[in-house]
Amino acid sequence: MSTAERSAQPASIKVLVVDDDHAMATTIVEVLESNGLTAAAAVTAEAALARHRELWPDVVICDQMLPDMSGLELCAAIRVDDPDVWLLLHTGHASLDSAIAAVGLIDQYLTKPAAPNELIKAVRLGSRRASARRAEREAAVHAAIRHRQALQINDSIVQHLVVAQARLEVGDTGAAGAAIEEGLVRARGLIDELLDPPREPEHVPAPPPAAKPIARSTYSVVIVDDSPDIRDLVRMLLEFDDGFTVVGEASDGREAIRVAEAQQPDVVLLDHSMPDMDGLSALPHLTGVSPTTTVVMLSGFSADRLEGAALERGAAAYLTKANLASDLVPELRRILAGGPAASSTA
pTM of whole model > 0.75? no
| Nearest of 69, 61, 66 to residue 29 by alpha carbon | 61
Instruction: Convert the pLDDT of each residue in 26-44 to its tens digit.
Output: 999 999 999 999 999 999 9
Instruction: Convert the pLDDT of each residue in 224-234 to its tens digit.
Output: 998 888 888 88
Show the beta-strand stretches assigned E in 173-238.
219-224
- The kind and range of the H/E element at 34 are helix 22-34
Q: What pLDDT does residue 29 have?
A: 94
Q: What pLDDT does residue 28 have?
A: 92
Query: Which whole-number Å values give the CA distances from 194 to 161, 178, 185, 198, 303, in the listed order?
Result: 20, 24, 15, 10, 24
Q: Is the pLDDT of residue 293 over 90?
A: yes
Q: Sign of torsion, CA 30 35 36 41? A: negative
Q: What pLDDT does residue 264 have?
A: 95
Task: Report the chain's terminal Cα–Cα distance, integer Å.
Answer: 46
Burial class (CB in 10 A: 0-12, 13-18, 19+), 229: buried
Question: Average pLDDT, whole number, for the chain?
Answer: 79
Distance CA 20, CA 45 (A): 9
Burial class (CB in 10 A: 0-12, 13-18, 19+), 198: middle
Residue % of the chain over a pLDDT of 90 = 29
Distance CA 59, CA 85 (A): 6
- The kind and range of the H/E element at 28 are helix 22-34
Distance CA 62, CA 90 (A): 6
Q: Name the β-bridge partners of 76.
A: none
Q: What pLDDT does residue 321 have?
A: 78
Question: Mean pLDDT over residues 61-74, rounded?
Answer: 87
Q: What pLDDT does residue 40 have?
A: 94
Least confidently predicted of 4-13, 118-127, 319-328: 4-13
Question: Mean pLDDT over residues 302-330, rounded?
Answer: 81
Task: Determine contact, residues 165/246, Cβ cutoff 8 Å.
Answer: no
Buried (b) or exposed (e) across 303-339, using 16+ Cβ within 10 A? beebbeebbebbbbbbbbbbbbbebbbebbebbbeee
Q: What is the CA radius of gyration of the chain?
A: 29
Burial class (CB in 10 A: 0-12, 13-18, 19+), 129: middle
Instruction: Convert the pLDDT of each residue in 80-95 to its tens digit.
Output: 888 889 998 887 755 5
Question: Mean pLDDT over residues 137-141, rounded?
Answer: 75
Strand order in the sheet with 219-224: 244-250, 219-224, 267-271, 294-299, 317-320
The conformational region for residue 341 under phi > 0 = left, psi -120 to 50 = alpha, else beta, is beta
Give 299 or 261, the one with higher predicted confidence.
Answer: 261
Task: Determine contact, residues 207/283, Cβ cutoff 8 Å.
Answer: yes
Question: Mean pLDDT over residues 232-237, rounded?
Answer: 87
